[in-house]
């Protein structure tokens, strides 16, 4: 999948203030505890105290430190200002010009236990958690990106660059897909592999492939329709395709591949990488056997 799957608005808003936090968010993330006050007390000057407090509360809320204090919402500045007894929140602009902001950011990171994304334990734990989500069906990249961002905030990990996290998600999804394709294809014999591939061919004298013919179920109630439905069921069963017994593949994964095989043009399926093409045809055969069986039962039932 492409690495850059986020919209420009999503990219621009990552780790930044887009709108002012809600009242509930202000109470949750921007309240200064007694320990916070003790940390701020020794700092000289209101601009330093407000700057430190703004960085601390922002990293709790955003997962990163502000890079431009001039665009920090007034509500964000007013919350610590009221708690610190600072009457002029605009003093934050003087703080933005000092070297203290970098020193304070490093101190906050150490004092409050924030880690960086490059920490190997972070990548391992986040990857394992996302892999399980992705394998069981939550595989939309945008959803995985949002889940990953929430996980990083919860586990006090500073957000990486947006492209870094996008690439992490894309690589993880690729690993999950490759595992799925390998698992579906590993129990298929060479003869079955060839039979599945032959479904994509158009036999001489025909105008459609065998796959197209199998995809078309009975559309009317009649004796010939019942015969065609039974032949269709026999053809599918003749492939002898079954799922690996111990694979534990989520049904939603198989269904998604089968849906693609049911709707895509044969030329599109032919263009797939070999492992994905085989997995797609295996999923199609497995799901089609169930639907063909139901179709064969429904024809006489509707008569």
Structure confidence at residue 110 as a pLDDT band (50, 70, 90): very high
User: Is the pLDDT at 300 greater than 80, yes or no?
Assistant: no
| Mean pLDDT of all residues in 12-27 | 94
Q: What is the pLDDT of residue 139?
A: 77
Flag the least confident range among 20-24, 145-149, 238-242.
Answer: 238-242
- Examine the pLDDT at 293 and tell me if it is beyond 60: no
Condensed to tens digits (0 to 9), the pLDDT of residues 55-68 reads: 999 999 999 999 99
Mean per-residue pLDDT over the chain, rounded? 87
Per-residue pLDDT at 241: 67
pLDDT of residue 292: 52
pLDDT at 220 (0 to 100): 47
The predicted pLDDT at position 192 comes to 87
134-138, 167-171, 239-243: which has the highest mean pLDDT? 167-171
Q: What is the 3-state secondary structure (H, E, C) of the chain?
A: CCCCCCCHHHHHHCCCCCCCCCHHHHHHHCCCCHHHHHHHCCCCCHHHHHHHHHHHHHHHHHCCCCCCHHHCCHHHHHHHHHHHCCCCHHHHHHHHCCCHHHHHHHHHHHHCCCECCCCHHHHHHHHHHHHHHHHCCCCCHHHHHHHHHHHHHHCCECCCCHHHHHHHHHHHHHHHHHHHHHHHHCCCCHHHHHHHHHCCCCCCCCCCCHHHHHHCCCCCCCHHHHHHHHHHHHHHHHHCCCCCCCCCCCHHHHHHHHHHHHHCCHHHHHCCCHHHHHHHHHHHHHHHHHHHHHHHHHHHHHC
Instruction: Identify the pLDDT of residue 297.
Output: 45
Residue 290 pLDDT grade (very low, low, confident, very high; cuts 50, 70, 90): low
Convert the pLDDT of each residue in 211-268 to its tens digit.
887 777 544 444 554 455 556 656 666 666 666 655 688 888 988 998 999 899 999 9
């Amino acid at each position: 999948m492409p690495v850059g799957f986020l919209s420009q608005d999503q990219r621009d808003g990552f780790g930044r203030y887009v709108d002012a936090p809600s009242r509930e968010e202000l109470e949750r993330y921007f309240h200064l505890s007694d320990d916070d006050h003790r940390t701020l007390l020794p700092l000289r000057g209101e601009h330093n105290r407000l700057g430190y407090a703004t960085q601390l509360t922002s990293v709790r809320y955003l997962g990163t430190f502000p890079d431009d204090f001039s665009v920090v919402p007034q509500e964000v500045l007013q919350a610590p200002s009221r708690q610190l007894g600072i009457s002029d929140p605009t003093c934050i602009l003087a703080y933005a010009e000092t070297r203290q902001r970098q020193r304070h950011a490093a101190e906050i990171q150490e004092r409050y236990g924030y880690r960086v994304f490059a920490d190997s334990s972070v990548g391992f734990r986040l990857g394992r958690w996302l892999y399980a989500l992705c394998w069981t069906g939550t595989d939309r990249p945008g959803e995985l990106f949002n889940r990953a961002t929430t996980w990083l905030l919860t586990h006090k990990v500073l957000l990486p660059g947006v492209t870094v996290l996008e690439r992490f998600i894309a690589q993880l999804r690729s690993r999950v897909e490759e595992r799925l394709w390998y698992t579906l294809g590993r129990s298929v014999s060479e003869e079955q592999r060839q039979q599945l591939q032959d479904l994509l061919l158009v036999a001489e004298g025909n105008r459609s492939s065998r796959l197209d013919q199998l995809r078309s179920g009975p559309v009317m109630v009649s004796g010939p329709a019942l015969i065609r439905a039974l032949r269709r069921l026999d053809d599918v069963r003749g492939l002898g395709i079954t799922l690996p017994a111990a694979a534990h593949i989520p049904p939603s994964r198989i269904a998604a591949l089968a849906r693609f095989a049911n709707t895509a043009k044969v030329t599109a399926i032919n263009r797939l990488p070999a492992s994905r093409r085989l997995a797609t045809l295996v999923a199609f055969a497995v799901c089609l056997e169930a639907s063909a069986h139901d179709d064969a039962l429904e024809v006489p039932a509707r008569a």
